[in-house]
Amino acid sequence: MNYNRYPMGFPQRHPGWGSQARYFPVGQPGYANAQRPNEHHSAFGGRLAGLIPRCYSAPVMGHGRQPFPGQGVPNAQAPLIGKGAAGRDPMGPVAKQVGRVDEGHGFREKGSKGSSVPGYKKIRSLTPGGMSEAISLVSHVKTRIKRVEKTLRYDKDTKRRAIAELQTLGRVTRCANLNRMFEHWWDDTRSSVSFILEYCDQGSLSSMIDDMLERRRSFSEDFAWHTMIGVSKGLAFMHSGIGDPAHEQPVPGWNAIFHLDLKPCNIFFSSSGQRGRYPRVVIGDFGCSVSANDIGHGKEDPHRQPYGTPNWYPPEGHAKTRYGAETDIWQCGAIISVMCRRANKPHHRYLESGDACGHGFGKSLSKTVQRCCHRDYRRRPTAHAIFKDSISVAGRKGLDPSSWR
């Protein structure tokens, strides 16, 4: 494709339509909401407020916003900032973005060896990389800000999954409790897509559990409530579009996103944007996520859970009868139980008892987990309700309110 024929920022072709690798920074010149070269902005302030990374060449919707394929208009536009943002960027300032598109996208900055995305260099591998996936810690060549690069390799059968994860990452960028994507690189010549994601410097809940076991120590009840609040806040946005569950109501017509693979290794903590004594809770890894529209339009099985980890399936998931928001709620409760018991997987006999969290934790925490993991999915609370109930109990117990406001 000859880019000299078009002004900068001209909508490019869809991935997979015979095109070469393409670089999509957060904003591109030529659009009303695009970032100009060499400008610095806060992710939640200034002219970049509400932006999501540009991914596809669907028709432009007012003010430079673009819909994702297959999504309704109410949810297609880049979400605006709600009351929960409070004018503050919990992710830290956005690094200077590369604001140009070179012929054939062959551009590589000096020092970017080992990274698939222009302008970044690999520091080290975070997980072993195979044909399917590699996760690496990278840094921006100019700013040296650390990010995580996740690379997926796809074939004709798995490409749809890669596009679904890209769509989800584009929609959840506003919520501070959901892992943020800064940019991505799609390469059809190598059948791969790479995401540049927020780096959570405090590690995962899984690594924390392992550390506690090694040191023969337990988590505090305050930290368990803090984790419950952070996870439920992230789920409230995914399920209902609620940016601030303490003050907002569900967004009418919201195309709900179901994570379907919540477990300790997908719950992260970051000191960036930390409020109070505990790090910010971040839900990551949306590779198994499914939207309500995809289920309704027949793109995914309406009853049998298509993706996830079998050990973390709720009762209806094992029975292959139903999945959705109630799956995420069950997994949220199971995470807290596993965290308190320092286990490696949930045990159903504990989850459905009044002692779900074990010794050393209050009855109110076990009761909340029990409600989340109720065998009857219709009796499980919504993420919005869990958040409100949790902050009420945590407030009475003296948990620092700055950690969840």
* pLDDT tens, per residue, the chain with 405 residues: 433 333 333 333 333 333 344 444 443 333 333 333 333 333 323 322 333 333 332 222 222 233 333 333 333 333 322 222 222 222 232 222 222 222 222 333 333 457 889 899 999 988 655 445 789 999 999 999 999 999 999 998 889 999 999 999 999 988 999 999 999 999 888 899 999 999 999 999 999 999 999 999 999 999 999 999 999 999 999 999 999 998 899 999 999 999 999 999 999 999 998 888 899 999 999 999 999 999 999 999 999 999 999 999 999 999 999 999 999 999 999 999 999 999 989 998 899 888 899 988 999 999 999 999 999 999 999 999 999 999 999 888 777 666 665
pLDDT of residue 308: 94
Q: Which CATH architecture has domain 3-198?
A: 2-Layer Sandwich (3.30)
The rounded distance, in Å, linking the Cα atoms of 273 and 40 is: 18
**What is the H or E stretch that residue 121 is in?**
strand 120-127
SS3 state of residue 28: coil
Q: What distance in Å separates the CA atoms of residue 103 and residue 141, rounded to the nearest whole number?
A: 21
What DSSP element (H or E) covers 133?
strand 133-140
* Residue 336, CA distances (Å) to 132, 174, 229, 349 in order: 30, 25, 11, 15
Q: What is the domain partition of the chain in residue ranges?
A: 3-198, 205-403
The CA distances from residue 379 to 148, 226, 258, 284, 324, in Å, are: 38, 23, 18, 27, 14
Torsion, CA 170, CA 173, CA 174, CA 176, rounded to 10: 160
Match 């959901």 to its residue by tokens.
Answer: 178
| CATH superfamily to which 205-403 belongs | Transferase(Phosphotransferase) domain 1 (1.10.510.10)
Smallest Cα–Cα separation from 182: which of 97, 108, 107?
97
3-class DSSP state of 403: helix
Residue 304 is encoded by which pair of tokens? 């049998």
Q: Which residue, among 358, 360, 387, has the nearest Cα to 372 in the 3D structure?
A: 387
pTM of the model as a whole: 0.74
Distances (CA, A) of 71 to 80, 91, 174, 326, 363: 17, 27, 18, 22, 42
Q: Name, in order, each residue with C-beta under 8 angstroms of 323's C-beta and a sequence gap of 6 or more.
A: 258, 260, 303, 304, 305, 316, 317
**pLDDT score recorded for residue 401:** 65
Angle at the Cα of 27 (from 292 to 33), degrees rounded to 5? Answer: 85
Separation of alpha carbons 230 and 342, rounded Å? 19
CB 339 within 8 A of CB 219: yes
Q: How far is CA 339 from CA 42, 53, 70, 95, 402, in A?
A: 34, 34, 37, 34, 23
Radius of gyration, alpha carbons of the chain:
21
Give the 3-state secondary structure of residue 293.
Answer: helix
**181-187 vs 257-258, strand pairing mode:** unpaired
